Amino acid sequence: DGGITQSPKYLFRKEGQNVTLSCEQNLNHDAMYWYRQDPGQGLRLIYYSQIVNDFQKGDIAEGYSVSREKKESFPLTVTSAQKNPTAFYLCASSMLSGEDYESQPQHFGDGTRLSIL
Amino acid sequence: LAKTTQPISMDSYEGQEVNITCSHNNIATNDYITWYQQFPSQGPRFIIQGYKTKVTNEVASLFIPADRKSSTLSLPRVSLSDTAVYYCLVGGYNFNKFYFGSGTKLNVKP
């Protein structure tokens, strides 16, 4: 079945450590996204990518980095500069809108929960 | 960026119809209205999307008035498994315009 796979499901980070969250999709979608969700809150956009080797900052990109070397993969690195990394991280993908401007639904993975040791 | 306003929470009973209204006063001409459902510790799941008037699928209906400044998600005959958070989004061609608010927490009681 097609879908988005995030790994690991749970991740722990030590002080001063960088950690990388994996996101893989087999939906042949061009666009991919990373969101952060804090308890009881909505989703906030960290980074997004429309095409391989290109990505854009979202609303809360500081302390995070991404790469898009392959269409299927969009890993997120939480760097030591992110002072409050404890959160639920969600990856999504979608088709790009066509000339009719119709918004394309985003398909989400099941998330990675990151905690600080 | 078109932001949305939804009730923080709603209660309902099994078998009832639930209507969740979302306000989006500064919706742009090309923006669509999309609703997602999220269960705890899972990613959001697409429910329904529309541009104007009424859209219906196998799980919900979406009502959009002519001015498009609000929309109403209608869930017919809810069950306990519909207990979740429901998000209303507006956006379109420039997907980076999507804004997830805090959503509406729907609690369905037996």
Write the pLDDT tens digit of every residue in A78-96: 999 888 999 999 999 998 8
Burial of A103 (0-12, 13-18, 19+ CB in 10 A): buried
Q: What pLDDT shows up at residue B102?
A: 80
Q: What are phi and psi of A11, to 5 degrees?
A: -145, 140
Structure token digits, residue B8: 């923080």
Mean pLDDT (whole number) for A62-67: 97
Instruction: Sort out which chain B residues have CB atoms less than 8 A from A89's CB and list them.
Output: none
Q: What pLDDT shows up at residue B97?
A: 58
Is B66 an interface residue toward A (CB < 8 Å)?
no
Mean pLDDT (whole number) for B12-21: 97
Are B95 and A31 within 8 A, CB to CB? Answer: yes
Q: How many helices (H) and strands (E) does chain A have?
A: 0, 11
Q: Which of residues 78-107 of B touch A (CB under 8 A)?
A: 87, 91-93, 95-96, 98, 100-103
Instruction: Sort out which chain A residues have CB atoms less than 8 A from B51's CB and list them.
Output: 102
Beta A112-116 vs A10-13: how paired, if at all? parallel
Are A103 and B93 within 8 A, CB to CB? Answer: yes
Mean pLDDT of chain A: 91
Find, among B61, B5, B2, B65, the residue nearest to B29 by Cα: B2
Cα–Cα distance, A35 to A6 (Å, whole number): 12
Q: Which of A10, A36, A43, A91 to mutate to test the interface with B (most CBs of B within 10 A)?
A: A43
CA closest to A49 among chain B residues: B96
By Cβ distance, the residue of B43, B49, B103 closest to A105 is: B49
Q: What pLDDT shows up at residue A104?
A: 81
Q: Which of A69-73, B12-16, B86-90 has the lowest mean pLDDT?
A: B86-90
pLDDT at A1 over 70: no
**pLDDT > 70: percent of chain A:** 94
Write the pLDDT tens digit of every residue in B63-107: 999 999 999 999 999 999 999 999 998 886 555 556 777 899 999
Q: What pLDDT shows up at residue A29?
A: 93
Q: What pLDDT shows up at residue A100?
A: 64
Are A105 and B32 within 8 A, CB to CB? Answer: no
Are A108 and B43 within 8 A, CB to CB? Answer: yes
Q: What are phi and psi of A19, to 5 degrees?
A: -130, 150
